[in-house]
Chains A and B, each alone.
Chain A
Amino acid sequence: EAQVTQNPRYLITVTGKKLTVTCSQNMNHEYMSWYRQDPGLGLRQIYYSMNVEVTDKGDVPEGYKVSRKEKRNFPLILESPSPNQTSLYFCASSLYVGMNTEAFFGQGTRLTVV
């Protein structure tokens, strides 16, 4: 089954403790991205990647890191999480960069930083 898989689905952590949210897609998509969703703000892009070893900042990259060593994986790293990073996170992928390619989303990761 074609899908984007995020883990974990739920995570509660403490301020400053490094964490990684994994994202994997099995559709051989070139484009992958991370979003955070906050009430009243919609989805905002954190980072995106157009292919292996190519990553770039989105609209809200501060406090996050990503890597794209393999085509299928695009982990999101929070080196020192803070409470303002409490949010619902989505990983998404699409076949390529282009105006007619919809994004396929993972199930979401609900992160709480206390």
Chain B
Amino acid sequence: AQKITQTQPGMFVQEKEAVTLDCTYDTSDPSYGLFWYKQPSSGEMIFLIYQGSYDQQNATEGRYSLNFQKARKSANLVISASQLGDSAMYFCAMRDYRDDKIIFGKGTRLHILP
């Protein structure tokens, strides 16, 4: 069965430092997609970045990059030069080709300190 694990319930990071949020996943399907979403205190879910299982290169979107290690089944989100506005809950999610679901991890709450 599919599973997403985020082992860091909360993190505190100094402003301007880089942040790595951990995500490991489990699926038996060779075709899948991995997503990261940000949920600020206002509650909305904001899509950040996508990585496909067949993508050769790690995905990047501005200050966000995804450190994709397929053999280890990990898809860590890296935020470079963190900002106060990055304080939020972050969810890792997965969708595979066969299943009809997007499943989510339990989230990591990131606090950026001034």
Contact = CB atoms under 8 A, between A and B. Distances in A.
A48 interface: yes
B59 to A, nearest CB: 11
Interface residues of B, number: 27
Nearest to A50: B100
B111 to A, nearest CB: 16
A103 B100 contact: no
Given A99-B97, A102-B35, A107 B43 contact: yes
B93 to A, nearest CB: 8
Interface in A57-76: 58-59
Q: Which 10 A-B pairs have the closest CB atoms?
A: A105-B45, A99-B33, A42-B106, A43-B104, A42-B104, A108-B43, A102-B47, A99-B97, A100-B33, A99-B32
